[in-house]
Amino acid sequence: MIAFLLFLLAFGLGMVPFGLYVARFVKGIDPREAGSRNVGATNVARLCGAPWGVLTLALDLFKGFIPCVLAPADTGWLALSLIGLAAIMGHAYSPLLNLKGGKAVATTVGVFLALAPAALILSAICCLLVIWLSGYVSMGSLTLALALPVFCLLTFNAGMLPLALVVMLFLFWRHRENILRLDKGQEMPWRKGKKCEEAGA
């Protein structure tokens, strides 16, 4: 019963589009109609400034973290995986946004921070390193997706491996347009995001 309630909580929190609310409050704009047209932290940061992007990142992260960290210690791996997946899917397919939403990277980070912290930290280091070297947030996000299953194994958290593999495939699917733009050299780099927007990129 507790696991089922946490599942509902996870989806309920996941579907709240914090990025939309932050952007509207700060700038009176809809992030779905500007920039990359995404309600995630990266687009909010481009449109409203880095501090507001960080706030959105934190709120989206906690959507995944809170339901998972509240699970009792004896909760099985399958129930934990479903709770985490509910938060991720709630964010990506929010009923409040007509079953649309963000790419769910921050929410994924929150889920694994609660369920596999060592694997998440190592994966996040790889993600940040790739963003720093390449300038592309999308490339860092894809690196995170690839690294999570690997580090779940290396940190002896095989129970979270099925969830990590599902999430990896899901994040690649959610980033399919970014992958095409990266392949064509048309992806918007983080460091030049505002300049690209001003140039009509």
Tens digits of residue pLDDT in 89-113? 999 999 999 999 889 999 999 999 9
The pLDDT of residue 195 is above 80: no
Query: Which domain does 81 fall in, by range?
Result: 2-198
pLDDT (mean) for 112-130? 97
Q: What pLDDT is recorded for position 192?
A: 52
What's the pLDDT at 16?
A: 95
Distance, CA of 114 to CA of 136 (rounded, Å): 26
Confidence at residue 201, expressed as pLDDT on a 0 to 100 scale: 28
Residue 189, pLDDT score: 81
173 pLDDT tier (thresholds 50, 70, 90): very high
Q: List, for residues 34-84, the tens digit of each pLDDT value.
A: 877 889 888 898 899 999 999 999 999 999 999 999 999 999 999 999 999
What pLDDT score does 154 carry?
A: 97
Give pLDDT, residue 155: 96
Which value, to the nearest 10 degrees, does the dihedral of the CA atoms of residues 109, 113, 117, 123 take?
10
Q: 193 falls in which pLDDT band (50, 70, 90)?
A: very low
- Closest listed residue to residue 170, CA positions, set 78, 60, 87, 68: 87
- pLDDT for residue 199 is more than 70: no
Q: What is the pLDDT of residue 191?
A: 60
For residue 13, CA distances in Å to 22, 68, 171, 201 come to: 16, 12, 19, 33
Q: Is 37 exposed, middle or buried (0-12, 13-18, 19+ CB in 10 A)?
A: exposed
Confidence band for 196, pLDDT divided at 50, 70 and 90: very low
Q: How many domains does the chain have?
A: 1
Bridge partners, 94 (sequence order) = 100
